[in-house]
Structure 1
């Protein structure tokens, strides 16, 4: 039996701009809409994101990029762009990017 390779990319090898399309798609999925309907600069609260969706997005960030994030990240950084900028800055400060 063959095991599929791990295709997740550590966040420290990605820029904030690289993350925007992926995070936009995940947010759209949880809001039951299309990525084209999500503006990276519009507060997620304006789209009606609830705590379940926000925590789900948080878990997906942790799983895909293998870094811990606060379950309140969608509220602390209220837009897709703010979240991705925060993650990139945090890793840069840690010297991992």
Structure 2
């Protein structure tokens, strides 16, 4: 059996739903990268504004969230949820809803 040359197969990568603590660690690493700091210096309960996060970094983090977790988030995410812990909790809720197919 051969596949016609114009046939395209779309493969959507599977992203495991992470626990809030795993999301928090991943997000801490990404925030540290954008702030040019070691991850151990990022306290998940400290507002990102206290670290001097700018809009370019905030949007970059949003893009990484969208790419890694296949989840559309607003560019204001870091302002709406001002700490790593708050963002991770919000993402965990969104991912759990997507995983169960439930609507809020």
TMscore range, shorter length = 0.7 to 0.9
Instruction: Please say if residues 59 and 75 of structure 2, whose CA atoms lie closer than 8 Å, have aligned partners that are also in contact.
Output: yes
Equivalent pairs, count: 89
- What root-mean-square deviation, in Å, do the aligned CA atoms of Structure 1 and Structure 2 show? 1.8
TM-score normalised to the size of structure 2? 0.78
Any gaps of 5 or more consecutive residues in structure 2?
Answer: 1-11
Q: Which has the larger radius of gyration?
A: 2
Confirm or deny that 1:9 pairs with 2:9: no
Residue 99 (structure 2) pairs with residue 96 (structure 1): yes
Unaligned runs of 5+ residues in structure 1 are 1-5
TM-score (norm 1): 0.83
- 1:65-76 superposed matches below 5 A: 65-76=69-80
**Which consecutive aligned stretches of 4+ in structure 1 deviate over 3 angstroms post-superposition?**
none
Against the structure 1 CA distance between its residues 91 and 7, is the aligned structure 2 distance closer, same or farther, given a 3 Å change threshold?
closer
| Counterpart check, 1:63 vs 2:67 | yes
